[in-house]
Copies of this chain bind each other. A is one copy, B any other.
Amino acid sequence: MTDVLESRGLDTAEARFRAAKAASTGLATATTAEKNRALEAIADALLARTAEVIEANRRDLAAADENGLSAGLVDRLTLDERRVAALADAVLAIARLADPVGDVVRGSTLPNGLQLTQVRVPFGVVGAIYEARPNVTVDITAIAIKSGNAVVLRGGTAAQHSNAALVAVVQDALASVGLPADAVQTVDEFGREGATALMRARGLVDLLIPRGSAGLIKTVVEESTVPVIETGAGVVHVFLDESADVDLATSIVLNAKTQRVAVCNAAETLLVHAAAAERLLPPVLGRLREAGVTLHADDRTRAVVPDAVPATDEDWAAEYYSMDLAVAVVDDLDAAMDHIAAWSTHHTESIVTESYRNAERFLAEVDSAVVMVNASTRFTDGGEFGFGAEVGISTQKMHARGPMGLAELTSTKWHVRGTGQTRG
């Protein structure tokens, strides 16, 4: 792969950004049918060239073994026939989604006759920085192509060979349907310098999406001059209000905490109204313990459930990604919202209540991407929301907030059609 790219003169990160930018017009003006044909060609090529991809993946796995990568990382890094087939399926699913490009967002005719339309257009070149997950390489690429964007990938040196093989498959598939192969680029082999170049490529890259650990996201936010969408971190709260139904409370907390733990929309902290603590804590925490959850509780909780682990400030800030839950008793709705304002990462919070007034206050006043009443926080998800594909879950307020689908990978442009109008 490297040799092929170098032979085309793309031997620096910047050369690849420029190649992606030059190719982006071809993708931006491609029809939906052409982009779908490209996605179908990619799916076909992934199946036809599975052996080649797995062979490249073996080289990464051998290096991972030498470098003593954790079992979790190795699992995420590993590709086998089943996983490659699943990637091909995911690409076909994206081909079936509606194309947001060209949608008219709004428009008007001015008093002087000028016709204004605000039209959805691709960003141009989208960058992604992520870690040791070759599936993201295919996933982000397919989403970018469907939304008309070129893409520059930095998937980490740990997955370098896998990513190079996957990008080669994608580039060949693009070329096979007459779209520019250069629209998909990787800068993995440039190591940390490739990542730095990507973060400083304002003017060549229009949008940068970091996916991965809190540390990676923080670095990108601080170092990037390219506009960034912050995704992921979820210190997610469930608040059981005074009037909460015990069965609803139990099933929602259990589902939010245990249905899948290593995900950003899993609950990390349970807050319980003081006037309902005696009534709700024993059944809810009892059920969580049966499910194997370790409780980190404040003093007021431990007054009711004495044998829980004492909680510290670290627990209120923790995104456990595990079968652990922080629990606190709070005086009332205001105290619950104060706790959330202090510790939340503004991802998702849910209230369990029978009070219309408190439900509406919680919805209005909690400053998070998704605010729920009587529902499990696990529903914050592009798939569950009906978007079909998910780029990530934005926890910032600019451009996109909450689950991001194809439309969130587009910008807009104003078309103004006149008949010679000048300004007086």
**A residues at B contact (CB < 8 Å):** 25, 28-29, 108, 110, 114, 116, 118, 123-124, 202, 206-207, 221-222, 225, 227-229, 245, 247-248, 251-252, 254-256, 259, 350, 359, 363-365, 367-376, 378-380, 384-386, 396-399, 401-402, 411-423
Contact A379 B416, beta carbon cutoff 8 Å: yes
Among A228, A350, A396, find the residue whose CB has the most chain B CB atoms closer than 10 A.
A396
Contact B369 A413, beta carbon cutoff 8 Å: yes
Contact A369 B414, beta carbon cutoff 8 Å: yes
Among A123, A252, A374, A421, find the residue whose CB has the most chain B CB atoms closer than 10 A.
A421
Once A255-B423, A379-B421, A385-B116 are accepted as A-B contacts, the answer to whether A416 and B365 lie under 8 Å apart by CB is: no
| B-chain residues with CB within 8 Å of residue A417 when the two chains form the complex | 359, 363, 372-375
Contact A124 B397, beta carbon cutoff 8 Å: yes
Once A110-B386, A386-B110 are accepted as A-B contacts, the answer to whether A374 and B418 lie under 8 Å apart by CB is: yes
Docked CA distance A401–B228 (Å)? 16
Residue of B nearest to A416 (CB): B372
Once A379-B114, A386-B108 are accepted as A-B contacts, the answer to whether A413 and B225 lie under 8 Å apart by CB is: no
In the A-B complex, the 6 residue pairs with the closest CB atoms: A375-B418, A255-B422, A397-B411, A399-B399, A378-B423, A372-B416
Q: Shortest Cβ distance from A98 into chain B, in angstroms?
A: 13
Docked CA distance A225–B350 (Å)? 29
B228, B252, B367, B370: the one contacting A420 at CB < 8 Å is B252
Contact B29 A365, beta carbon cutoff 8 Å: yes
Copy tally for this chain in the complex stands at 2
Contact A251 B416, beta carbon cutoff 8 Å: no
Q: Shortest Cβ distance from A379 into chain B, in angstroms?
A: 6
| B-chain residues with CB within 8 Å of residue A374 when the two chains form the complex | 417-421
Q: Shortest Cβ distance from A248 into chain B, in angstroms?
A: 4
Among A207, A221, A376, A420, find the residue whose CB has the most chain B CB atoms closer than 10 A.
A420
Q: Shortest Cβ distance from A71 into chain B, in angstroms?
A: 26
| B-chain residues with CB within 8 Å of residue A396 when the two chains form the complex | 206, 227
Residue of B nearest to A113 (CB): B375
Pairs across A and B, CB under 8 Å, 16 listed = A29-B365, A227-B227, A227-B397, A229-B398, A248-B420, A252-B420, A252-B422, A368-B413, A371-B413, A373-B416, A374-B419, A378-B423, A379-B418, A379-B423, A401-B413, A401-B414
Once A421-B379, A422-B251 are accepted as A-B contacts, the answer to whether A414 and B402 lie under 8 Å apart by CB is: yes
Q: Shortest Cβ distance from A356 into chain B, in angstroms?
A: 11
| B-chain residues with CB within 8 Å of residue A365 when the two chains form the complex | 25, 29
Docked CA distance A369–B114 (Å)? 16
Docked CA distance A411–B364 (Å)? 14
B28, B401, B419: the one contacting A412 at CB < 8 Å is B401
Docked CA distance A373–B402 (Å)? 37
Contact B251 A414, beta carbon cutoff 8 Å: no
Residue of B nearest to A403 (CB): B414
Docked CA distance A251–B420 (Å)? 8
Docked CA distance A374–B417 (Å)? 7
Docked CA distance A202–B346 (Å)? 13
| B-chain residues with CB within 8 Å of residue A207 when the two chains form the complex | 397-398
| B-chain residues with CB within 8 Å of residue A114 when the two chains form the complex | 375, 379
Contact B371 A415, beta carbon cutoff 8 Å: yes
Contact B411 A398, beta carbon cutoff 8 Å: yes
Contact A411 B415, beta carbon cutoff 8 Å: no
Residue of B nearest to A116 (CB): B385
| B-chain residues with CB within 8 Å of residue A255 when the two chains form the complex | 422-423
Among A28, A365, A376, find the residue whose CB has the most chain B CB atoms closer than 10 A.
A376
Among A222, A256, A374, A378, find the residue whose CB has the most chain B CB atoms closer than 10 A.
A374
B118, B371, B415: the one contacting A363 at CB < 8 Å is B415
Contact A370 B414, beta carbon cutoff 8 Å: yes
Docked CA distance A350–B18 (Å)? 26
| B-chain residues with CB within 8 Å of residue A229 when the two chains form the complex | 398
